[in-house]
Amino acid sequence: MKKTWWKESVVYEIYPRSFCDSNGDGIGDLNGITGKLDYLSDLGINVIWLAPVYKSPNDDNGYDISDYRDIMDEFGTMEDYDHLLEEAHKRGIKIVMDLVANHTSDEHAWFVESRSSRDNDKRDYYIWRDPVDGKEPTNWGSCFGGSAWEWDEKTGQYYLHCFSRKQPDLNWDNPRVREEVFDLMRFWCEKGIDGFRMDVISMISKKPDFVDAPVDDGIYGNTSLEVSYGPHLHEYLKEMNQKVLARYDLMTVGECGGVTTEHAKKIANAEGTELGMVFQFEHVSVDGGPDGKWYKKPMPLPALKENLSKWQRELDGRAWNSLFFGNHDQPRIVSRIGDNSPISAKAAAVALYSMQGTPYLYQGEELGMTNYPFKGIEDYDDLECINAYHQIVEAGFRDPEELLEAIAYKSRDNARTPMQWSDEENAGFTTGTPWFHINPNYREINAKSQIYDPDSVYSFYKRYFALRTDSPWKNLLVYGKYQLLAPEDEAVFAYIRYADEQKLLVVCNLSAADRTFEVPESVQIDPSLSLLINPDESQLLISTYKDSRLSRTLLLRPWEAGIWAV
């Protein structure tokens, strides 16, 4: 496996709106981030993935961009950005920008022109279609509810928007659109940024036929199936690679909902002809229901392990994995894999980050920040869950109370409550009125109380990342091969990482009960390789308990998780 800096890095996602407010307007901003760089550097992360900071009317919190070469007013100025980049680089922290180029805002100059008339020069920058039988050209639904087609009265056609109606999809089949995107990427590369996270990049090549999709939520066709992994996806990514990416030293990661390992092996291929990594979502979907994510169910551990192991196995030596549970679209990991307790946050980190791939954490995860106690639908800000609620309730599909519980459990808004910096008013996030609810548990869960507490989640994350980025075990943890143990175990996630003569045993009790785990004497990898495990000659590298000891029959306390060199 070819070694690169981004395989050996830990990536920290910042959702700027909720990170830190520097000027008291209640909204996080760029100077707020700059002010926290020492905190991040102390934690030991290497890369910041910055969720969108470009000019945007904020229909989808910055994922609807109206100018890719400017900064959102609420977040500051381009000077503030340049300052952030410079200060981050001074501390050895790299910055990866969020490239949202499957769609723009409807307020972007390209779309304003495109919709101005049918013969406008930029008409074909977007996807316009005539009505079919007087209505929408297909049954496709938007990911945020309603139809994916919006009628434009003035020019008498529909435009496609896979997300909100204020996020029209760009037409990547138009070479001029691709050049525009490559150009704006160069603009940022020339500033010296270190990479791109590419928003829904799997959707840029639509299948050409535009036919109805199977209806699996009972109302609209499943658009994803028709617009993802279209015939030109790999071609466009290769073109982007040749024209932009290959000319700089960048980390790239494509957000790829519904990706198969086959596509992932191409997109994140080891030769680097497309992107560096993919973000796949199968493992955060195993606790979903028949028609999507709005269910409140415990994470079925055997299914989760099987899925993660499949990705480990299939990509090994061929492509590169991203290791994540949380991001700005997911509920809090400690409320989903864990039971909200600090120790469960630590155990989940050991289980996830000890696999092969690049670790990603989302702001607040290092503090064990939990889901928010949402009640009514009026408590939410995010259009995804608000629209879903109204659509499902109006259709009479679900009991509203039960649906609300599921939404409280899964809503993206759980990740978007402001960072809990201290036990002071508004959790130290702002001196003004925060744009969104602050989790009432900020008095117990906050950075200030954790930084100097050796037993805190923060200190554990810090020690853990040091092991992964700066220790004799680094190579093995980053590049070593993976083998799952005890696949059927309902509570214990255990595996081996190995390379040459070195072996690590990872055992995590992901439950609040005592468990027993039988450490195998040897693990047969293939006919020619069998790995011996001798607990008597083991060395503990890290554990969620101070006094963890390996033995053949291992008694695990609640959320006991450790790594042993064996």
Which region, left, alpha or beta, applies to residue 357 given φ > 0 means left and ψ of -120 to 50 means alpha? left
Partner whose binding site includes residue 29, from Ca ion, ligand GLC, none (CB under 5 to 8 Å by kind): Ca ion
How far apart are the C-alpha atoms of 459 and 540, rounded to whole Å? 17
51 or 467: whose CB is closer to ligand GLC? Answer: 51
Burial of 544 (0-12, 13-18, 19+ CB in 10 A): buried
How far apart are the C-alpha atoms of 181 and 113, rounded to whole Å? 17
65 or 237: whose CB is closer to ligand GLC? Answer: 65
Residue-by-residue DSSP string for 481-532 = EEEEE-TT-SSEEEEEEEETTEEEEEEEE-SSS-EEEE--SEEEEETTEEEE
The helix/strand/coil state of 391 is: helix
How many residues sit in the footprint of ligand GLC (CB under 6 A)? 9
What torsion, rounded to 10 degrees, do the Cα atoms 127, 133, 136, 138 define?
A: -80
Name the one range near Ca ion by CB under 5 A: 29-37, 129-137, 236-244, 415-423: 29-37
How many residues sit in the footprint of Ca ion (CB under 5 A)? 5
Per the DSSP assignment, residues forming a β-bridge with 504 are: 497, 565
**Residue 23 engages Ca ion in binding (rule: CB under 5 A):** yes
User: Around 309, how many Cα atoms within 13 Å sit in the side-chain half-sphere?
Assistant: 18
The most distant pair of C-alpha atoms in the chain lies apart, rounded to whole Å, by: 77
Catalytic residue among 64, 150, 169, 255: 255
**Residue 25 engages Ca ion in binding (rule: CB under 5 A):** yes
387 or 422: whose CB is closer to ligand GLC? Answer: 387
Name the one range near Ca ion by CB under 5 A: 15-23, 201-209, 477-485, 489-497: 15-23
Per the DSSP assignment, residues forming a β-bridge with 132 are: 135
In angstroms, what is the minimal distance from the CB of 519 to ligand GLC? 40
Backbone angles phi, psi at 249, to 5 degrees: -100, 90
Q: Active-site residue 13, yes or no?
A: no
In angstroms, what is the minimal distance from the CB of 143 to ligand GLC? 7
**∠ Cα 175 181 185 (to 5°):** 140
Partner whose binding site includes residue 392, from Ca ion, ligand GLC, none (CB under 5 to 8 Å by kind): none
How far apart are the C-alpha atoms of 476 and 566, rounded to whole Å? 12
Per the DSSP assignment, residues forming a β-bridge with 277 are: 253
**Residue 100 engages ligand GLC in binding (rule: CB under 6 A):** yes
**Residue 27 engages Ca ion in binding (rule: CB under 5 A):** yes
**Residue 60 engages ligand GLC in binding (rule: CB under 6 A):** yes
Partner whose binding site includes residue 25, from ligand GLC, Ca ion, none (CB under 5 to 8 Å by kind): Ca ion
Q: Of the candidates 321, 383, 401, which has an alpha carbon nearest to the alpha carbon of residue 357?
A: 321
316 or 381: whose CB is closer to Ca ion? Answer: 381
- For 391, other C-beta atoms within 10 Å of its C-beta total 18
23 or 502: whose CB is closer to Ca ion? Answer: 23
Question: Of the candidates 9, 17, 19, 29, which one interacts with Ca ion according to CB under 5 A?
Answer: 29
Please answer whether residues 45 and 11 qualify as being in contact, where contact means their C-beta atoms are separated by less than 8 angstroms.
yes
Q: Which of residues 339-368 bind Ca ion (CB under 5 A)?
A: none
Catalytic residue among 169, 199, 413, 560: 199
In angstroms, what is the minimal distance from the CB of 271 to ligand GLC? 27
In angstroms, what is the minimal distance from the CB of 100 to ligand GLC? 5
CA distances (Å), origin 114, targets 68, 172, 210: 17, 14, 21
Please answer whether residues 524 and 533 qualify as being in contact, where contact means their C-beta atoms are separated by less than 8 angstroms.
no
In angstroms, what is the minimal distance from the CB of 483 to ligand GLC? 32
85 membership: H or E segment, kind and range:
helix 78-90
Q: Which residue is nearest to ligand GLC, using beta carbons?
A: 63
Q: Active-site residue 274, yes or no?
A: no
Question: Of the candidates 6, 19, 54, 63, which one interacts with ligand GLC according to CB under 6 A?
Answer: 63
**Residue 72 engages Ca ion in binding (rule: CB under 5 A):** no
- For 232, other C-beta atoms within 10 Å of its C-beta total 17
Q: Of the candidates 506, 502, 553, 494, which has an alpha carbon nearest to the alpha carbon of residue 531?
A: 502
The mark string for 204-243 relative to Ca ion (x by CB under 5 A, - otherwise) is ----------------------------------------
Partner whose binding site includes residue 200, from Ca ion, ligand GLC, none (CB under 5 to 8 Å by kind): ligand GLC
Q: Of the candidates 178, 183, 210, which has an alpha carbon nearest to the alpha carbon of residue 102?
A: 178
The mark string for 10-49 relative to ligand GLC (x by CB under 6 A, - otherwise) is ----------------------------------------
The mark string for 156-185 relative to ligand GLC (x by CB under 6 A, - otherwise) is -------x----------------------
Residue type at 422 in one-letter notation: S
Question: Of the candidates 150, 217, 226, 329, which one interacts with ligand GLC according to CB under 6 A?
Answer: 329
**Residue 337 engages ligand GLC in binding (rule: CB under 6 A):** no
25 or 216: whose CB is closer to Ca ion? Answer: 25
Q: Which residues participate in catalysis according to the annotation?
A: 199, 255
Binding site for ligand GLC (CB under 6 A): 60, 63, 100, 163, 199-200, 255, 328-329
